[in-house]
A and B are shown apart, each in its own frame.
Chain A
Amino acid sequence: MKTFAYDRARDVAGAVAGFGPGTMYLGGGTNLVDLMRLGVAEPEHLVDVSKLPLRAIEADGDGLRIGAAVRNSELAAHPAARERYPMLARAVLTGASGQVRNMATVGGNLLQRTRCPYFQDVTKACNKRRPGSGCPAIDGDHRNLAIIGHTSQCVATHPSDMAVALAALDARVHVTGPEGERVIAMPGLHRLPGSEPDRDTVLRPGELITAIRLPAPPPGASAYRKVRERASFAFALVSVAAALEVTGDGTVRDCRLALGGVAHAPWRARRAEEALTGQRAGEDAFRRAADAELADADPLPGNRYKVPMARNLIVAVLRELMPR
Protein backbone atom coordinates (compact mmCIF):
# COMPACT_ATOMS: atom_id res chain seq x y z
CA MET A 1 0.00 0.00 0.00
CA LYS A 2 1.34 3.44 -0.86
CA THR A 3 1.17 5.92 1.94
CA PHE A 4 -1.48 8.61 1.91
CA ALA A 5 -2.81 11.62 3.79
CA TYR A 6 -6.07 11.12 5.68
CA ASP A 7 -8.76 13.65 6.51
CA ARG A 8 -12.13 13.18 8.08
CA ALA A 9 -14.71 15.40 6.41
CA ARG A 10 -17.15 17.23 8.68
CA ASP A 11 -19.60 18.30 6.04
CA VAL A 12 -20.29 17.75 2.38
CA ALA A 13 -18.96 21.11 1.29
CA GLY A 14 -15.74 20.49 3.14
CA ALA A 15 -15.39 17.03 1.64
CA VAL A 16 -15.80 18.31 -1.88
CA ALA A 17 -13.54 21.28 -1.29
CA GLY A 18 -10.85 18.93 -0.05
CA PHE A 19 -10.89 16.82 -3.21
CA GLY A 20 -7.90 17.15 -5.48
CA PRO A 21 -5.84 14.99 -7.84
CA GLY A 22 -5.05 11.72 -6.10
CA THR A 23 -7.97 12.05 -3.68
CA MET A 24 -10.49 9.30 -3.09
CA TYR A 25 -13.49 9.32 -0.81
CA LEU A 26 -13.46 6.66 1.91
CA GLY A 27 -16.80 5.22 3.05
CA GLY A 28 -16.81 2.01 5.05
CA GLY A 29 -13.61 0.92 3.34
CA THR A 30 -14.90 -2.56 2.59
CA ASN A 31 -13.98 -2.25 -1.08
CA LEU A 32 -11.51 0.62 -1.11
CA VAL A 33 -9.19 -0.73 1.59
CA ASP A 34 -9.32 -4.13 -0.13
CA LEU A 35 -8.27 -2.48 -3.42
CA MET A 36 -5.59 -0.40 -1.74
CA ARG A 37 -4.06 -3.49 -0.21
CA LEU A 38 -4.11 -5.17 -3.62
CA GLY A 39 -2.36 -2.16 -5.10
CA VAL A 40 -5.26 -1.57 -7.47
CA ALA A 41 -6.20 1.73 -5.87
CA GLU A 42 -3.37 4.04 -4.91
CA PRO A 43 -4.87 7.23 -3.52
CA GLU A 44 -2.50 9.87 -2.20
CA HIS A 45 -5.22 11.39 -0.10
CA LEU A 46 -8.27 9.87 1.57
CA VAL A 47 -11.25 11.95 2.58
CA ASP A 48 -13.29 9.94 5.06
CA VAL A 49 -16.96 10.61 4.36
CA SER A 50 -18.31 7.78 6.49
CA LYS A 51 -19.22 10.05 9.39
CA LEU A 52 -20.84 12.84 7.40
CA PRO A 53 -24.40 13.70 8.51
CA LEU A 54 -25.80 11.59 5.67
CA ARG A 55 -27.06 8.82 7.95
CA ALA A 56 -30.78 9.39 7.78
CA ILE A 57 -33.46 7.22 6.21
CA GLU A 58 -36.65 9.21 5.95
CA ALA A 59 -39.92 9.42 4.11
CA ASP A 60 -39.72 11.57 1.00
CA GLY A 61 -43.27 12.25 -0.16
CA ASP A 62 -44.48 8.76 -0.98
CA GLY A 63 -40.91 7.69 -1.59
CA LEU A 64 -37.84 7.24 0.54
CA ARG A 65 -34.63 9.17 0.96
CA ILE A 66 -31.53 7.27 2.06
CA GLY A 67 -28.43 9.14 3.11
CA ALA A 68 -25.28 7.93 1.37
CA ALA A 69 -23.50 7.17 4.64
CA VAL A 70 -26.25 4.88 5.86
CA ARG A 71 -24.72 1.45 6.51
CA ASN A 72 -25.95 -1.45 4.42
CA SER A 73 -27.17 -3.28 7.53
CA GLU A 74 -29.05 -0.20 8.73
CA LEU A 75 -30.86 0.05 5.42
CA ALA A 76 -31.81 -3.61 5.37
CA ALA A 77 -33.09 -3.44 8.95
CA HIS A 78 -35.11 -0.25 8.49
CA PRO A 79 -38.89 -0.68 8.69
CA ALA A 80 -39.44 1.48 5.59
CA ALA A 81 -37.18 -0.73 3.49
CA ARG A 82 -38.62 -3.93 4.89
CA GLU A 83 -42.26 -2.88 4.54
CA ARG A 84 -42.26 -0.73 1.42
CA TYR A 85 -39.21 -1.78 -0.62
CA PRO A 86 -38.69 -5.44 0.27
CA MET A 87 -36.84 -6.05 -2.99
CA LEU A 88 -34.19 -3.62 -1.80
CA ALA A 89 -33.99 -5.01 1.73
CA ARG A 90 -33.60 -8.54 0.37
CA ALA A 91 -30.96 -7.48 -2.11
CA VAL A 92 -28.89 -5.88 0.61
CA LEU A 93 -29.33 -8.86 2.92
CA THR A 94 -27.94 -11.27 0.33
CA GLY A 95 -24.79 -9.24 -0.13
CA ALA A 96 -21.46 -9.96 1.54
CA SER A 97 -21.42 -10.88 5.23
CA GLY A 98 -22.94 -9.40 8.37
CA GLN A 99 -19.64 -7.78 9.23
CA VAL A 100 -19.20 -6.19 5.82
CA ARG A 101 -22.83 -5.02 5.76
CA ASN A 102 -22.23 -3.24 9.06
CA MET A 103 -19.23 -1.37 7.71
CA ALA A 104 -20.23 -0.64 4.13
CA THR A 105 -22.09 2.56 3.24
CA VAL A 106 -24.81 2.57 0.58
CA GLY A 107 -22.85 5.16 -1.38
CA GLY A 108 -19.80 2.98 -1.31
CA ASN A 109 -21.81 -0.08 -2.26
CA LEU A 110 -22.82 1.62 -5.49
CA LEU A 111 -19.24 2.46 -6.31
CA GLN A 112 -17.65 -0.88 -5.54
CA ARG A 113 -15.58 -2.22 -8.39
CA THR A 114 -15.71 -5.43 -10.32
CA ARG A 115 -14.32 -8.62 -8.81
CA CYS A 116 -12.90 -9.80 -12.12
CA PRO A 117 -9.77 -11.75 -11.11
CA TYR A 118 -7.63 -10.03 -13.71
CA PHE A 119 -8.73 -6.57 -12.56
CA GLN A 120 -7.81 -7.43 -9.00
CA ASP A 121 -4.30 -8.63 -9.86
CA VAL A 122 -1.91 -5.79 -10.65
CA THR A 123 0.59 -8.19 -12.20
CA LYS A 124 -1.86 -8.81 -15.03
CA ALA A 125 -2.97 -6.71 -17.95
CA CYS A 126 -6.38 -5.06 -17.64
CA ASN A 127 -7.98 -2.34 -19.73
CA LYS A 128 -9.96 -1.16 -16.73
CA ARG A 129 -6.85 -0.64 -14.61
CA ARG A 130 -4.48 0.30 -17.39
CA PRO A 131 -6.33 1.38 -20.54
CA GLY A 132 -4.83 -0.19 -23.62
CA SER A 133 -3.09 -3.05 -21.85
CA GLY A 134 -5.64 -5.63 -22.98
CA CYS A 135 -8.35 -7.84 -21.51
CA PRO A 136 -6.92 -11.24 -20.55
CA ALA A 137 -10.35 -12.42 -19.37
CA ILE A 138 -11.71 -12.77 -22.88
CA ASP A 139 -9.28 -15.56 -23.76
CA GLY A 140 -8.80 -16.58 -20.16
CA ASP A 141 -11.16 -17.51 -17.38
CA HIS A 142 -14.38 -15.53 -17.65
CA ARG A 143 -16.82 -17.96 -16.12
CA ASN A 144 -18.13 -15.30 -13.72
CA LEU A 145 -18.13 -12.40 -16.16
CA ALA A 146 -20.49 -10.62 -18.53
CA ILE A 147 -22.88 -12.04 -21.12
CA ILE A 148 -24.43 -8.80 -22.31
CA GLY A 149 -23.40 -5.22 -22.97
CA HIS A 150 -19.70 -6.09 -23.03
CA THR A 151 -17.11 -5.19 -25.60
CA SER A 152 -13.80 -6.58 -26.74
CA GLN A 153 -12.22 -4.18 -24.29
CA CYS A 154 -13.85 -5.44 -21.10
CA VAL A 155 -16.17 -8.22 -19.95
CA ALA A 156 -16.36 -7.30 -16.28
CA THR A 157 -19.56 -7.47 -14.26
CA HIS A 158 -20.78 -5.15 -11.53
CA PRO A 159 -20.91 -7.04 -8.24
CA SER A 160 -23.49 -5.08 -6.24
CA ASP A 161 -26.83 -6.66 -5.34
CA MET A 162 -28.19 -3.41 -3.97
CA ALA A 163 -27.54 -1.64 -7.26
CA VAL A 164 -29.66 -4.18 -9.13
CA ALA A 165 -32.63 -3.49 -6.86
CA LEU A 166 -32.11 0.26 -7.13
CA ALA A 167 -32.06 -0.05 -10.91
CA ALA A 168 -35.40 -1.85 -10.84
CA LEU A 169 -36.83 0.76 -8.46
CA ASP A 170 -35.89 3.76 -10.62
CA ALA A 171 -33.73 5.19 -7.86
CA ARG A 172 -32.16 8.58 -8.29
CA VAL A 173 -28.66 9.25 -7.02
CA HIS A 174 -27.90 12.71 -5.67
CA VAL A 175 -24.35 13.88 -5.97
CA THR A 176 -22.49 17.03 -5.03
CA GLY A 177 -19.30 17.96 -6.77
CA PRO A 178 -16.98 20.88 -7.45
CA GLU A 179 -19.48 22.10 -10.06
CA GLY A 180 -22.53 21.78 -7.86
CA GLU A 181 -25.29 19.28 -7.36
CA ARG A 182 -26.95 16.96 -9.79
CA VAL A 183 -29.19 13.94 -9.90
CA ILE A 184 -28.41 10.77 -11.80
CA ALA A 185 -31.16 8.29 -12.56
CA MET A 186 -30.42 4.60 -12.03
CA PRO A 187 -29.46 2.46 -13.81
CA GLY A 188 -27.64 5.30 -15.54
CA LEU A 189 -25.08 5.81 -12.78
CA HIS A 190 -23.12 2.82 -14.05
CA ARG A 191 -21.74 2.67 -17.56
CA LEU A 192 -21.29 -0.09 -20.01
CA PRO A 193 -17.61 -0.46 -20.87
CA GLY A 194 -17.76 0.76 -24.45
CA SER A 195 -14.28 1.88 -25.36
CA GLU A 196 -13.55 3.33 -21.93
CA PRO A 197 -13.68 0.42 -19.52
CA ASP A 198 -11.67 2.41 -16.98
CA ARG A 199 -14.78 4.48 -16.28
CA ASP A 200 -17.21 2.48 -14.18
CA THR A 201 -19.69 5.32 -13.62
CA VAL A 202 -20.68 8.68 -15.04
CA LEU A 203 -19.40 10.48 -11.97
CA ARG A 204 -16.95 13.29 -12.56
CA PRO A 205 -13.86 13.76 -10.42
CA GLY A 206 -14.74 15.04 -6.98
CA GLU A 207 -18.41 14.14 -7.12
CA LEU A 208 -19.67 12.71 -3.88
CA ILE A 209 -22.86 10.69 -3.57
CA THR A 210 -24.98 12.29 -0.86
CA ALA A 211 -28.28 10.45 -1.07
CA ILE A 212 -30.38 7.90 -2.89
CA ARG A 213 -34.01 8.80 -3.44
CA LEU A 214 -36.61 6.24 -4.26
CA PRO A 215 -39.96 7.08 -5.79
CA ALA A 216 -43.05 5.35 -4.51
CA PRO A 217 -42.53 1.61 -4.56
CA PRO A 218 -43.73 -0.26 -7.63
CA PRO A 219 -47.14 -1.85 -7.28
CA GLY A 220 -47.55 -5.56 -6.78
CA ALA A 221 -45.31 -8.14 -5.20
CA SER A 222 -41.52 -7.95 -5.40
CA ALA A 223 -38.53 -10.19 -4.85
CA TYR A 224 -34.78 -10.43 -5.14
CA ARG A 225 -33.20 -13.77 -5.85
CA LYS A 226 -29.52 -14.56 -6.18
CA VAL A 227 -27.99 -17.73 -7.57
CA ARG A 228 -24.56 -18.58 -6.23
CA GLU A 229 -22.29 -21.56 -5.80
CA ARG A 230 -22.42 -21.62 -2.07
CA ALA A 231 -25.37 -20.89 0.11
CA SER A 232 -24.05 -17.59 1.46
CA PHE A 233 -21.21 -15.10 1.34
CA ALA A 234 -20.64 -15.26 -2.39
CA PHE A 235 -21.21 -12.99 -5.35
CA ALA A 236 -24.07 -13.70 -7.71
CA LEU A 237 -23.63 -15.89 -10.72
CA VAL A 238 -26.90 -14.31 -11.83
CA SER A 239 -29.45 -12.39 -9.78
CA VAL A 240 -32.89 -11.01 -10.47
CA ALA A 241 -34.80 -8.11 -8.90
CA ALA A 242 -38.43 -8.17 -9.91
CA ALA A 243 -41.78 -6.62 -9.14
CA LEU A 244 -45.03 -7.78 -10.70
CA GLU A 245 -48.53 -6.40 -10.57
CA VAL A 246 -51.24 -8.60 -12.03
CA THR A 247 -54.83 -7.43 -12.37
CA GLY A 248 -57.86 -9.42 -11.31
CA ASP A 249 -58.25 -10.85 -14.82
CA GLY A 250 -54.67 -12.10 -14.91
CA THR A 251 -53.06 -9.36 -16.97
CA VAL A 252 -49.68 -7.85 -16.14
CA ARG A 253 -50.28 -4.21 -15.33
CA ASP A 254 -46.78 -3.34 -14.12
CA CYS A 255 -43.49 -5.14 -14.16
CA ARG A 256 -39.99 -4.27 -13.07
CA LEU A 257 -37.04 -6.45 -13.84
CA ALA A 258 -33.30 -6.02 -13.38
CA LEU A 259 -30.48 -8.52 -13.63
CA GLY A 260 -27.22 -8.78 -11.74
CA GLY A 261 -24.11 -10.73 -12.57
CA VAL A 262 -24.60 -10.37 -16.31
CA ALA A 263 -23.14 -7.00 -17.24
CA HIS A 264 -20.80 -4.11 -16.43
CA ALA A 265 -23.79 -2.33 -14.90
CA PRO A 266 -26.97 -3.51 -13.23
CA TRP A 267 -29.07 -4.57 -16.20
CA ARG A 268 -32.55 -3.07 -16.32
CA ALA A 269 -34.53 -5.49 -18.42
CA ARG A 270 -36.75 -2.98 -20.21
CA ARG A 271 -37.41 -5.21 -23.19
CA ALA A 272 -38.72 -7.91 -20.92
CA GLU A 273 -40.85 -5.38 -19.06
CA GLU A 274 -42.34 -4.11 -22.33
CA ALA A 275 -42.91 -7.62 -23.59
CA LEU A 276 -44.76 -8.50 -20.41
CA THR A 277 -46.87 -5.46 -19.78
CA GLY A 278 -50.44 -6.06 -20.89
CA GLN A 279 -49.84 -9.77 -21.41
CA ARG A 280 -51.59 -12.60 -19.66
CA ALA A 281 -49.34 -13.46 -16.74
CA GLY A 282 -48.01 -16.98 -16.93
CA GLU A 283 -45.15 -19.24 -17.85
CA ASP A 284 -45.35 -18.56 -21.59
CA ALA A 285 -45.34 -14.80 -21.23
CA PHE A 286 -42.53 -14.92 -18.71
CA ARG A 287 -40.43 -17.10 -20.97
CA ARG A 288 -41.05 -14.92 -24.02
CA ALA A 289 -40.15 -11.83 -22.05
CA ALA A 290 -36.93 -13.37 -20.77
CA ASP A 291 -36.00 -14.47 -24.27
CA ALA A 292 -36.71 -11.00 -25.60
CA GLU A 293 -34.34 -9.52 -23.05
CA LEU A 294 -31.63 -12.07 -23.61
CA ALA A 295 -31.87 -12.03 -27.39
CA ASP A 296 -28.83 -9.76 -27.50
CA ALA A 297 -26.86 -11.78 -24.98
CA ASP A 298 -23.47 -12.69 -26.38
CA PRO A 299 -21.93 -15.08 -23.91
CA LEU A 300 -18.31 -16.12 -23.96
CA PRO A 301 -17.34 -19.76 -24.31
CA GLY A 302 -16.91 -20.16 -20.55
CA ASN A 303 -20.05 -18.41 -19.35
CA ARG A 304 -22.74 -19.65 -21.70
CA TYR A 305 -24.51 -21.18 -18.72
CA LYS A 306 -25.54 -17.72 -17.60
CA VAL A 307 -28.03 -17.41 -20.45
CA PRO A 308 -30.24 -20.34 -19.44
CA MET A 309 -29.61 -19.46 -15.80
CA ALA A 310 -30.83 -15.89 -16.34
CA ARG A 311 -33.79 -17.03 -18.41
CA ASN A 312 -34.81 -19.67 -15.91
CA LEU A 313 -34.31 -17.35 -12.98
CA ILE A 314 -36.46 -14.61 -14.50
CA VAL A 315 -39.24 -17.12 -15.12
CA ALA A 316 -38.90 -18.68 -11.67
CA VAL A 317 -39.00 -15.34 -9.85
CA LEU A 318 -41.97 -14.05 -11.83
CA ARG A 319 -43.76 -17.34 -11.25
CA GLU A 320 -43.29 -16.87 -7.51
CA LEU A 321 -44.66 -13.31 -7.74
CA MET A 322 -47.90 -14.37 -9.41
CA PRO A 323 -50.84 -13.83 -7.15
CA ARG A 324 -52.14 -17.07 -5.64
Chain B
Amino acid sequence: MAEITIRVNGTGVPLSVDPRTSLLDLLRERLGLTGTKKGCDHGQCGACTVLIDGRRANACLALAVAQDGSDVTTVEGLASNGDLHPLQAAFIRRDAFQCGYCTPGQLCSAAGMLAEGGPSAVTADLGDDPALVPEEIRERMSGNLCRCGAYVNIVAAIADVAGSADGGGARAAAGAGAGAASTAREVSA
Protein backbone atom coordinates (compact mmCIF):
# COMPACT_ATOMS: atom_id res chain seq x y z
CA MET B 1 0.00 0.00 0.00
CA ALA B 2 1.19 3.53 -0.72
CA GLU B 3 0.26 6.80 0.97
CA ILE B 4 -0.84 9.60 -1.33
CA THR B 5 -2.75 12.84 -1.24
CA ILE B 6 -4.91 13.86 -4.18
CA ARG B 7 -7.07 16.96 -4.49
CA VAL B 8 -10.40 15.88 -5.93
CA ASN B 9 -12.81 18.65 -6.92
CA GLY B 10 -10.96 21.04 -4.65
CA THR B 11 -10.72 18.85 -1.57
CA GLY B 12 -7.45 17.22 -0.51
CA VAL B 13 -7.89 13.54 0.27
CA PRO B 14 -5.17 11.52 1.98
CA LEU B 15 -5.37 7.87 1.01
CA SER B 16 -3.66 4.56 1.34
CA VAL B 17 -3.80 2.87 -2.06
CA ASP B 18 -2.98 -0.44 -3.64
CA PRO B 19 -0.43 0.58 -6.28
CA ARG B 20 -2.42 -1.33 -8.90
CA THR B 21 -5.48 0.85 -8.38
CA SER B 22 -6.26 3.20 -11.23
CA LEU B 23 -7.40 6.76 -10.56
CA LEU B 24 -10.68 5.66 -12.13
CA ASP B 25 -11.26 2.84 -9.67
CA LEU B 26 -10.13 5.08 -6.82
CA LEU B 27 -12.80 7.61 -7.74
CA ARG B 28 -15.55 5.06 -8.29
CA GLU B 29 -14.90 2.34 -5.76
CA ARG B 30 -13.14 4.18 -2.93
CA LEU B 31 -14.41 7.73 -3.05
CA GLY B 32 -17.98 7.00 -4.18
CA LEU B 33 -17.60 9.42 -7.08
CA THR B 34 -19.30 7.24 -9.63
CA GLY B 35 -19.85 10.07 -12.12
CA THR B 36 -16.67 9.11 -13.96
CA LYS B 37 -17.40 6.01 -16.01
CA LYS B 38 -15.48 2.88 -16.97
CA GLY B 39 -16.13 2.01 -20.60
CA CYS B 40 -13.06 0.05 -21.57
CA ASP B 41 -10.36 0.47 -18.87
CA HIS B 42 -7.67 0.79 -21.56
CA GLY B 43 -7.81 4.39 -22.74
CA GLN B 44 -9.77 3.47 -25.87
CA CYS B 45 -13.16 5.09 -25.28
CA GLY B 46 -12.75 8.25 -23.20
CA ALA B 47 -15.68 7.56 -20.86
CA CYS B 48 -13.29 7.96 -17.91
CA THR B 49 -12.03 11.41 -18.96
CA VAL B 50 -11.29 13.73 -16.04
CA LEU B 51 -9.11 16.81 -15.71
CA ILE B 52 -5.74 16.19 -14.07
CA ASP B 53 -3.96 19.45 -13.27
CA GLY B 54 -6.37 21.16 -15.65
CA ARG B 55 -5.74 18.88 -18.62
CA ARG B 56 -8.02 16.19 -19.89
CA ALA B 57 -6.77 12.67 -19.26
CA ASN B 58 -8.03 9.09 -19.12
CA ALA B 59 -8.39 8.17 -15.45
CA CYS B 60 -8.19 4.46 -16.32
CA LEU B 61 -4.59 4.81 -17.46
CA ALA B 62 -3.51 6.95 -14.51
CA LEU B 63 -2.25 4.88 -11.61
CA ALA B 64 -3.57 6.43 -8.41
CA VAL B 65 -0.19 6.04 -6.79
CA ALA B 66 1.36 8.21 -9.52
CA GLN B 67 -1.16 10.99 -8.89
CA ASP B 68 0.19 12.02 -5.50
CA GLY B 69 -0.08 15.80 -5.40
CA SER B 70 -2.33 16.03 -8.45
CA ASP B 71 -5.44 18.14 -8.78
CA VAL B 72 -8.32 16.16 -10.24
CA THR B 73 -11.62 17.55 -11.49
CA THR B 74 -14.43 15.11 -12.23
CA VAL B 75 -17.89 15.70 -13.66
CA GLU B 76 -19.12 16.16 -10.12
CA GLY B 77 -16.81 19.16 -9.88
CA LEU B 78 -17.78 20.94 -13.08
CA ALA B 79 -20.80 22.75 -11.74
CA SER B 80 -20.14 25.58 -9.32
CA ASN B 81 -22.35 27.12 -6.67
CA GLY B 82 -25.23 24.89 -7.68
CA ASP B 83 -25.26 26.24 -11.25
CA LEU B 84 -24.64 23.89 -14.10
CA HIS B 85 -21.43 24.39 -16.06
CA PRO B 86 -22.23 25.99 -19.44
CA LEU B 87 -21.36 22.69 -21.12
CA GLN B 88 -23.77 20.76 -18.90
CA ALA B 89 -26.55 23.21 -19.68
CA ALA B 90 -25.73 23.09 -23.39
CA PHE B 91 -25.79 19.28 -23.40
CA ILE B 92 -29.29 19.31 -21.93
CA ARG B 93 -30.50 21.98 -24.31
CA ARG B 94 -29.09 20.23 -27.38
CA ASP B 95 -30.06 16.68 -26.29
CA ALA B 96 -26.38 15.77 -26.52
CA PHE B 97 -26.76 12.47 -24.71
CA GLN B 98 -29.02 9.43 -24.78
CA CYS B 99 -28.00 6.66 -22.40
CA GLY B 100 -25.74 9.13 -20.62
CA TYR B 101 -22.86 6.75 -19.96
CA CYS B 102 -20.29 8.56 -22.12
CA THR B 103 -21.61 11.94 -21.00
CA PRO B 104 -19.42 12.72 -17.99
CA GLY B 105 -16.36 11.89 -20.08
CA GLN B 106 -17.64 14.03 -22.96
CA LEU B 107 -18.16 16.96 -20.59
CA CYS B 108 -14.75 16.78 -18.93
CA SER B 109 -13.11 16.23 -22.30
CA ALA B 110 -14.90 19.21 -23.81
CA ALA B 111 -14.00 21.37 -20.82
CA GLY B 112 -10.37 20.39 -21.20
CA MET B 113 -10.46 20.77 -24.95
CA LEU B 114 -11.86 24.30 -24.81
CA ALA B 115 -8.85 25.33 -22.74
CA GLU B 116 -6.29 23.71 -25.02
CA GLY B 117 -6.11 25.88 -28.13
CA GLY B 118 -3.51 25.26 -30.80
CA PRO B 119 -3.93 23.27 -34.01
CA SER B 120 -5.38 19.80 -34.43
CA ALA B 121 -4.93 17.07 -37.01
CA VAL B 122 -7.45 18.79 -39.30
CA THR B 123 -6.08 22.32 -39.02
CA ALA B 124 -4.80 23.50 -42.40
CA ASP B 125 -2.19 25.91 -41.08
CA LEU B 126 -0.24 24.77 -38.06
CA GLY B 127 0.44 28.36 -37.13
CA ASP B 128 -3.23 28.89 -36.46
CA ASP B 129 -5.10 28.87 -33.23
CA PRO B 130 -8.17 27.98 -35.23
CA ALA B 131 -11.75 28.82 -34.48
CA LEU B 132 -13.63 25.84 -33.12
CA VAL B 133 -15.73 25.15 -36.17
CA PRO B 134 -17.56 21.80 -36.21
CA GLU B 135 -14.77 19.99 -38.07
CA GLU B 136 -12.29 21.05 -35.38
CA ILE B 137 -14.62 20.05 -32.56
CA ARG B 138 -15.22 16.66 -34.14
CA GLU B 139 -11.54 15.88 -34.43
CA ARG B 140 -10.73 17.13 -30.92
CA MET B 141 -13.56 15.11 -29.38
CA SER B 142 -12.75 11.86 -31.19
CA GLY B 143 -11.24 10.41 -28.06
CA ASN B 144 -14.76 10.13 -26.63
CA LEU B 145 -16.80 7.36 -28.20
CA CYS B 146 -20.59 7.49 -28.09
CA ARG B 147 -22.35 4.31 -29.17
CA CYS B 148 -25.76 5.95 -28.98
CA GLY B 149 -24.49 8.18 -31.78
CA ALA B 150 -25.21 11.53 -30.14
CA TYR B 151 -22.23 13.10 -31.89
CA VAL B 152 -24.25 15.52 -33.99
CA ASN B 153 -25.81 17.05 -30.90
CA ILE B 154 -22.62 16.83 -28.85
CA VAL B 155 -20.80 18.92 -31.43
CA ALA B 156 -23.67 21.41 -31.51
CA ALA B 157 -23.62 21.75 -27.72
CA ILE B 158 -19.87 22.30 -27.61
CA ALA B 159 -20.07 24.76 -30.51
CA ASP B 160 -22.68 26.70 -28.56
CA VAL B 161 -20.31 27.09 -25.64
CA ALA B 162 -17.19 27.66 -27.73
CA GLY B 163 -18.85 30.35 -29.76
CA SER B 164 -20.75 32.04 -27.00
CA ALA B 165 -19.78 35.05 -24.95
CA ASP B 166 -19.28 32.50 -22.25
CA GLY B 167 -16.66 30.66 -24.31
CA GLY B 168 -13.99 32.40 -22.31
CA GLY B 169 -15.81 31.60 -19.12
CA ALA B 170 -15.82 27.97 -20.05
CA ARG B 171 -12.10 28.09 -20.59
CA ALA B 172 -11.54 29.65 -17.22
CA ALA B 173 -13.86 27.22 -15.52
CA ALA B 174 -11.97 24.32 -17.01
CA GLY B 175 -8.93 25.32 -15.08
CA ALA B 176 -10.73 26.49 -11.98
CA GLY B 177 -9.68 24.81 -8.80
CA ALA B 178 -7.38 22.55 -10.72
CA GLY B 179 -4.19 24.53 -10.69
CA ALA B 180 -2.63 26.35 -13.57
CA ALA B 181 -1.82 24.12 -16.49
CA SER B 182 1.84 24.40 -17.28
CA THR B 183 2.93 23.91 -20.83
CA ALA B 184 6.22 23.70 -22.54
CA ARG B 185 5.37 26.92 -24.31
CA GLU B 186 6.51 28.70 -21.20
CA VAL B 187 10.00 27.34 -21.48
CA SER B 188 12.50 29.44 -23.33
CA ALA B 189 13.00 28.50 -26.94
Partners in one complex: yes
What is A's interface to B at a CB cutoff of 8 Å?
Answer: 1, 3-6, 8, 26, 28-30, 33-34, 36-38, 46, 48, 50, 55-59, 70-71, 73-80, 82-83, 86, 89-90, 93-94, 96-100, 102-103, 231-233
Which residues of A sit under 8 angstroms from B62, Cβ to Cβ?
29, 33, 103
Per the bound structure, the CA–CA distance linking A58 and B127 in Å amounts to 18
Min Cβ gap B140→A in Å is 6
Min Cβ gap B12→A in Å is 18
Min Cβ gap B91→A in Å is 18
Chain B positions 108-155 with a Cβ under 8 Å from a chain A Cβ: 109, 112-113, 116-121, 126-127, 138-144
How many contacts A-B (CB < 8 Å)?
134
B121 and A233 contact, CB distance less than 8 A: no
- 15 more contacts with CB within 8 A, not counting A77-B184, A232-B138, are A4-B20, A30-B43, A33-B61, A48-B66, A56-B184, A58-B188, A74-B183, A74-B184, A76-B118, A82-B118, A90-B126, A99-B58, A100-B43, A100-B58, A100-B143
Take A8-B68, A58-B188, A78-B184 as given contacts and tell me if A97 and B120 are in contact as well, using a CB distance cutoff of 8 Å.
no
Q: Most A CB atoms within 10 A — which of B46, B126, B127?
A: B126
What is B's interface to A at a CB cutoff of 8 Å?
Answer: 2, 18-20, 22, 41-43, 46, 49, 52, 55-58, 60-63, 65-66, 68, 109, 112-113, 116-121, 126-127, 138-144, 183-185, 187-189
- Nearest-CB residue, chain B, relative to A83: B127
Per the bound structure, the CA–CA distance linking A79 and B117 in Å amounts to 12
Per the bound structure, the CA–CA distance linking A77 and B126 in Å amounts to 9
Min Cβ gap A7→B in Å is 10
A102 and B55 contact, CB distance less than 8 A: yes
Per the bound structure, the CA–CA distance linking A33 and B117 in Å amounts to 28
